[in-house]
A and B are shown apart, each in its own frame.
Chain A
Amino acid sequence: MTRPQLRQHTGPAATRLLGFGSSQGNRVVTNDDLSRRVDTSDEWIRQRVGIIERRLADEDQSLVDMAVEAGAKAVANSGLAPSDVDTVIVATCTLPGFIPNASAQTADRIGVKAAAAFDLNAACAGFPYAVNVASELVRGGSARRVLVIGAERFTEWIDWDDRANCIIFADGSGAAVLGPADEPGVGPLAAGSAGDLVDMIGLTERGHIYQEGRSVFRWATTRVAPIAERAVELAGLRLSDIDVLVAHQANLRIVESLAKKLRARGAREDMVVADDIVHSGNTSAASIPIALDHMKSAGRINTGDVMLLVGFGAGLSYSAQVVICP
């Protein structure tokens, strides 16, 4: 008797991003708004984190509502219909609960029927992870086109009397569609974690987000640049090939420090550096795709640009990859 032979399959060798979308609430919270509630000031916030204003979801706008809007826009901006997509991944760490997940209902509401759907939690490092998973699903033949969404609703997780943290976080969603390509458009993922530093970012006993600002800043400004550089190496490129740096919008000072370090190692002075945090705040897994969508819409990034994405955050987790701008 012969043993049954299992079949495994493969897909196209190359993948690329096809388009972006994003969604943010209409509530704009300025630094002056916050300084009326806690002991802080516009000048202090701008200097320490670089944020001028942040966007919060409307009262009745859920995390999934934002994911649906961002995802639908990304599908449309890719020139596709929802039925062209078969898989939906939502990177998030701020769902109200673990059940139900965000991805299945998001897929259904966009019109991606019976999608393969799952959530992914690598906190602020989630988007590059999710893009990589999507790319490997397509290359492995398990998916044809994947909608990758980062979505966060921090409002309920913020202690609005905690002046160290309430100034930083915000709500929003950003998305990208990934599909097969003739030429490679998504580089390998450089990722890792530092679970021994788990206590640096977490929740208080009352369930509010906190981070040890100084320690996180030290970690992010020393440990993240080598990860970014590794992603460039894995993609077979040099830092001087990078046209655009889109780092997680954690803090403008961290982003600027990262850009400075990469330039000292060979990145170009004219490399465009995403600074979306200035008007969006820190939206964790959503910050990279929101920045991508805003920059594409504003003409700051163009089709064919070589872009370095870098995520880092709670866990601690980190991830980076090079992608080509659709």
Chain B
Amino acid sequence: MSNEEILKELRAIVEEVAGVSPEDITEEKSFVDDLDVDSLSMVEIAVQAEDKFGVKIPDDQLANLKTVGDAVSYIATNK
């Protein structure tokens, strides 16, 4: 799965969990500062991403995923 495909799927998850418009979800955006996604919504995004991509995203790793791009690279590297 290419990074573009990961981003597409991740957009759908972030939109579903946090109600963010997909066009706003680009790689350089910070989940917390730009997209207003709080820590609990991040957990929900992680849980859905784990199911979708077959990766493990433990809570201590989750805290390091600041931007959408961080999440895409983490998934690409660890799946």
Are B59 and A214 within 8 A (Cβ)?
yes
Q: Does A207 contact B (CB under 8 A)?
A: no
Kindly state whether residue A204 has any CB partner on chain B within 8 Å. no
Q: What does the 1/0 interface line of B35-56 toward A look like (CB < 8 Å)? A: 0001110111011000000000
Please classify the interface of chain B as helix (H, G, I), strand (E, B), loop, or mixed, using the class held by over half of its residues. Answer: helix
A74 to B42, CA, bound (A): 41
Q: Which residues of A (195-235) have their CB < 8 Å from a CB of B?
A: 212-215, 217-218, 221-222
CB distance from A292 to the nearest CB of B (A): 26
Identify the interface centre among B38, B42, B43, B47: most chain A CB within 10 Å of its CB.
B43
Nearest-neighbour CB distance to chain A for B63, whole angstroms, equals 8
Q: Is the CB of B59 within 8 A of A215?
A: yes
Report yes or no: B44 in contact with A213, Cβ–Cβ below 8 A. no
Q: Are B38 and A222 in contact (CB under 8 A)?
A: no
Expressed in whole angstroms, the Cα–Cα distance for A48 and B32 within the complex equals 14
Closest to A212 in B: B59
Beta-carbon contact of A221 and B47 below 8 Å: yes
Give the number of chain B interface residues (Cβ < 8 Å): 10
Determine whether B62 belongs to the interface, using a CB cutoff of 8 Å to chain A: yes
Question: Using Cβ atoms and an 8 Å threshold, which residues of chain A touch B46?
Answer: 218
Partner of B44, one of A47, A212, A215, A257: A257
CB-CB nearest in chain A for B50: A222
A279: Cβ under 8 A from any B Cβ: no
CB closest chain-A residue, reference B47: A222
Q: Which of A25-68 contact B (CB under 8 A)?
A: 47-48
Indicate if A253 sits at the interface (CB-CB under 8 A): yes
| Chain B contacts for A212, CB-based, 8 A | 59
Query: Considering only CB atoms, which chain A residue lies closest to B63 in the complex?
Result: A214
Cβ–Cβ contact A221 & B43, under 8 A: yes
CB pair B40–A253 under 8 Å, yes or no, is: yes
Known contacts A214-B59, A218-B59; is-contact A48 B43 (Cβ 8 Å): no
- Other-chain contact of A47, B38, B43, B47, B62 (Cβ < 8 Å): B38
Indicate the member of A214, A221, A253, A257 with the most B CB atoms within 10 Å: A214
- Report the Cα distance A218→B39, complex, angstroms: 11
Nearest B residue to A215 by beta-carbon distance? B59
Q: Interface of A with B (CB < 8 Å)? A: 47-48, 212-215, 217-218, 221-222, 253, 257
Sample of 13 A–B contacts (CB below 8 Å): A47-B38, A48-B39, A213-B40, A214-B40, A215-B59, A217-B40, A217-B43, A218-B43, A218-B47, A221-B43, A221-B44, A222-B47, A257-B44
Chain B residues with a Cβ under 8 A of chain A: 38-40, 42-44, 46-47, 59, 62
Which 5 pairs, one residue from A and one from B, show the smallest C-beta to C-beta distance? A218-B43, A214-B59, A217-B43, A217-B40, A215-B59
